[in-house]
Structures are given as C-alpha cells and as structure tokens.
C-alpha cells in the first residue's frame, strides 16, 4: 500500500497517540531549548531579536494532523508535523528579516522557506511572516530519542507583524466566529494595512537614521583627520595649507525640507568638501530658531565646517555657543580646546580640555590633546602624566610613540 493510500485510510487513535506524545514531550522540550541556544549563538547581530518558543500542545497537534495528513504517517509511532517544535524570531525592522533569514540559511540545513501572506492583495487581511523549516542539527538529534523526521519551524516577523498575528489568531482562528460580513472584513483589512504601513514607515525612518549616521561618521572622521594633520609635526609650528576641493562636487542625494533633511544635506555637503554650502545650510537651520537641543548640535556642526575652512574665529564662537546650549556635554569644550591649540593658545586650550575631561574622564584623547599642550608649554612632567593616562585609556600606539618621542627629546635638551 502506498503512503498516499495509507494516509487516506489512516484514522489515528487519539488515546494511543496522546500516550506516545506524552513519552516524547520531555525530549521535545529539551530539543526546543537546545535550538534556542543554537539560534542565539547564530543571531549575534547588531540588534537583539526576541525569541518566543513552544512545543505544540497535543490538542493543537491532533487537529492539525487530521487536517493536513502529513507524509510522516505510517513511518513511526508518532507522525510529526512541520511545527511540532516552533520558534518565533521577532525583529524591530523589516530590513532585519532578510538578515535573520540569511543567518539561518548559512548555518543550518534549510528544508523550506515560505513567505506567508506575500500573495495577498491590499483588500485582504491576514498576517505576514517568513516560515523557515530547519533540519535538526546532528549534535541535537543524537542526544535524544525522537520520532522520525522531526524538524523545527522558525517564524521570522517584525514586532508589528507579530502583534497582528496574535490578535488575528484570537479573533479568527481560536473563535467559532468567522468574519464573513463585508464591512467587518474591510475593517480587519484596514487594520492590517495600517500595521503594514507602520512597518514601512518605521523602516523608512530607520533608513534615514542610517544615512544620517553614516554621513555624520564621515564628517567626524574627516574633522579629526584634519585636526591630526594640522598638529602632526609637534616640534614645528607648521600650518597645513588649505585643502583644495577643485574637483566637481557630486550632487547631493538628499532633498531639503524639514530640519532633519536640511541637516542631512548640510553634512553631505560638508563631507564632499563644499564647506560654504554646508555653513549656509547650518545657518538657515539656526535662523528657524529651533530648541536648544537642536541648536547645540547645529552650532557644533557649523563650527566643524568653519574649522575645515580655517576660519578659526568663527569655529571658536560656534563651539562656545554649542557649549552654552549644552553645558553638560564634554564635546564642545574638547572642540574649543582643539581650535585654541591650532591657533597656539595652549594655556587656554588646557583649561578647556580640563573642562572636557571633568565631564568625561574615560576618553583617551582629552588627556592626549592636553598632553600636547603641556609639551608646547614646556611642562614635560604634566605632558608625560597626561600621556600615560591616555595610554591606559586606549590611546593608539602610533599617537603615543609620536608624542613620547618628542617629549623625551625635549627633556634630553634640558
């Protein structure tokens, strides 16, 4: 008799099957725990997904067994279904779903990937989810006595997809009521569409944040590169010639509009060397009279643009305004110290580096920059002391060696 014929004629004995289920249940729970551990090791990502897991109850298992008639009927005393063991991976954003799916594909034997709800129109309601069927790793299977062909179902969802699925399950699948009424169907479809739209909007905001963070990281890196270049020869009072940006500047991919859009445009202009345009946009943002939290950020960015133009007086003024609007932040004082060091006002620079250090004494570069000032002021004892502290906090070997060599040479000449 073929498997197909066997499934057609097979009527499970509920009582006997429940006894077998009871015998396997401890092993199912242990396998589930092992799979959670496996997943946590694999999902070592920039975000921390939430894991929910369960062993399917016997009643749920039995109902589904009668409905789907799986191809495991007749090959063991307990015909398994695809989701006897299930784990749900819940992610913050839509972009995270593909990241998680790739990790599963790279680290497990994947039997099937199904995207539930992907074929629905906007008029239909129903949850969306990616279902991935995994073969149990041998290191897990060999520890327990398990029914043949037992697998693990992984569901990957966003937080909002999971919320909708939970509510829908209560309203539709666990209730004898089915929403045949057209207005009610429309309401459910509208709710589902709203949550789907919210997911898309959250992802767009996330994409915007990623772009902004990327541009800000570039801007900060270029600023510190410029600062290091201006101070690279500590034994001579050399000045860096103005950087030339004569090449054709790439057009910005961002559109002006809100303050966020304008900030992104300004930082992009800054990063591509169009400092005049960056200063102009920063100034327009300031002219809108935003709140103090925004002002301290904008003055700080505009100060960096002025610094890049070698307009040290305006840079100094902007950094001081940034400190005025956020006196508890260490960064503006640090930037003030940098400008004062650049124009060789080392004693005042020491005072501002000290203010920065008092607000954040765990950063190595506040001590390092102050050590540079002590070097120029001729106080080698304090220079060595600050340099040693900065090294203990993680200063790079290259920065340490360059300054320590100069200090030792000057001490030898004394």
Residues 215 and 146 in one domain: no
Diameter of the chain measured on Cα atoms? 102
Please report whether residue 398 resides in a domain.
no
CATH of the domain at 299: 1.25.40.10
CATH code of the domain in which 147 resides = 3.30.460.10
Gap between the Cα atoms of 350 and 374, Å rounded: 8
Report if residue 305 sits inside a domain: yes
Which residue range(s) make up the domain with 328?
Answer: 203-238+248-360
Q: What does the pLDDT look like over 347-391, one tens digit per residue?
A: 999 999 999 999 999 999 999 999 999 999 999 999 999 999 999
Predicted structure pTM score:
0.59
| Same domain, yes or no: 224 and 93 | no
Same domain as 149, residue 20: yes
- Same domain as 100, residue 217: no
Last residue of a domain, one of 327, 343, 360: 360
Same domain, 234 and 157: no
Task: Kindly give the residue spans of alpha helices, DSSP state H, lying in 309-345.
Answer: 312-325, 330-342
**Whether residues 310 and 277 fall in one domain:** yes
* 189 part of a folded domain: no
- Model pLDDT, residue 194: 77
Q: Phi and psi for 91 in degrees, rounded to 5? A: -115, 155
Domain check: are 125 and 221 in the same one?
no
Query: Which of the listed residues 327, 360, 393 is the one where a domain comes to its end?
Result: 360
* Distance set, CA 94 to CA 155, 160, 293, 375 (Å): 14, 10, 30, 53
pLDDT for the residue 182: 65
Mark whether 63 and 137 lie in a shared domain: yes
3-state secondary structure 207-276: HHHHHHHHHHHHHHHHHHHHHHHHCCCCCCCCCCCCCCCCCCCCCCCCCCCCHHHHHHHHHHHHHCCCHH
How many residues does this entry show for the chain? Answer: 414
Number of domains forming the structure of the chain: 2
Q: What share of the chain is helix, strand, coil (3-state, %, to 5)?
A: 60, 10, 30
Q: Digits of tens for pLDDT over the chain (414 positions)? A: 455 554 545 667 889 999 999 999 999 999 999 999 999 999 988 888 999 999 999 999 998 888 888 776 767 788 999 999 999 999 999 889 999 999 999 999 999 999 876 555 544 445 578 999 999 999 999 999 999 899 999 999 999 888 888 777 666 665 555 555 667 777 777 777 777 778 887 887 787 778 777 777 776 777 777 776 655 444 434 333 333 333 333 444 444 457 878 888 888 888 888 999 999 999 999 998 989 999 999 999 999 999 989 999 999 999 999 999 999 999 999 999 999 999 999 999 999 999 999 999 999 999 999 999 999 999 999 999 999 999 999 998 988 998 999 999 888 765
Q: Tell me: do 213 and 77 sit in the same domain.
A: no
170 & 265 share domain: no
Which pLDDT score, from 0 to 100, does residue 10 have?
Answer: 61
Q: 208 and 128 share a domain?
A: no
**Which of 128, 162, 178 marks a domain boundary?**
178
Same-domain check for residues 153 and 285? no
pLDDT digits (tens, 9 = 90+) for 293-346: 999 999 999 999 999 899 999 999 999 999 999 999 999 999 999 999 999 999
Report the relative pairing of strands 85-91 and 151-158 from DSSP bridges.
Answer: parallel
Give the torsion sign (CA, 169, 175, 180, 181). negative
């Amino acid at each position: 008799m073929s498997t197909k014929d066997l499934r057609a004629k097979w009527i499970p004995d509920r009582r006997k099957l429940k006894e077998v289920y009871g015998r396997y249940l401890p092993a199912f729970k242990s396998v589930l725990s092992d799979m959670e551990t496996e997943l946590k090791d694999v999902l070592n990502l920039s975000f921390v997904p939430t894991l929910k897991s369960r062993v399917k109850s016997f009643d749920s298992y039995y109902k589904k067994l009668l409905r789907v008639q799986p191809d495991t009927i007749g090959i063991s005393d307990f015909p398994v279904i695809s989701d006897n063991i299930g784990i749900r991976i819940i992610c913050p954003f839509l972009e995270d779903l593909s990241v998680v799916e790739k990790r599963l594909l790279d680290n497990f034997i994947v039997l099937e990937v199904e995207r539930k709800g992907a074929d629905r129109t906007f008029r239909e309601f129903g949850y969306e989810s990616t279902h991935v069927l995994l073969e149990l790793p041998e290191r897990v299977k060999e520890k327990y006595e398990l029914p043949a062909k037992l697998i693990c179902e992984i569901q990957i969802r966003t937080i909002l997809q999971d919320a909708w699925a939970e509510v829908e399950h209560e309203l539709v699948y666990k209730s004898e009521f089915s929403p045949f009424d057209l207005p009610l169907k429309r309401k459910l479809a509208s709710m589902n569409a709203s949550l789907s739209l919210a997911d898309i909007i959250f992802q767009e905001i996330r994409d915007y944040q990623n772009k902004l963070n990327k541009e800000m990281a570039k801007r900060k890196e270029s600023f510190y590169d410029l600062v290091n270049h201006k101070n690279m020869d500590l034994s001579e009072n050399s000045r860096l010639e103005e950087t030339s940006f004569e090449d054709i500047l790439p057009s910005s991919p961002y559109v002006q509009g809100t303050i966020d859009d304008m900030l992104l445009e300004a930082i992009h202009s800054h990063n591509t060397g169009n400092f005049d345009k960056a200063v102009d946009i920063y100034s327009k943002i300031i002219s809108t009279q935003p709140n103090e939290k925004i002002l301290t950020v904008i003055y700080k960015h505009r100060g960096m643009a002025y610094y890049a133009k070698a307009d040290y007086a305006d840079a100094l003024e902007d950094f001081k305004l940034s400190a005025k609007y956020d006196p508890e932040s260490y960064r503006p004082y640090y930037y003030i110290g940098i400008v004062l060091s650049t124009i060789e006002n080392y004693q005042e620079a020491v005072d501002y580096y000290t203010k920065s250090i008092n607000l954040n004494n765990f950063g190595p570069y506040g001590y390092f920059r102050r050590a540079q000032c002590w070097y120029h002021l001729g106080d080698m004892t304090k220079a060595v002391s600050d340099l040693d502290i900065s090294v203990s906090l993680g200063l790079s070997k290259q920065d340490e060696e360059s300054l320590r060599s100069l200090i030792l040479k000057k001490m030898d000449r004394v």
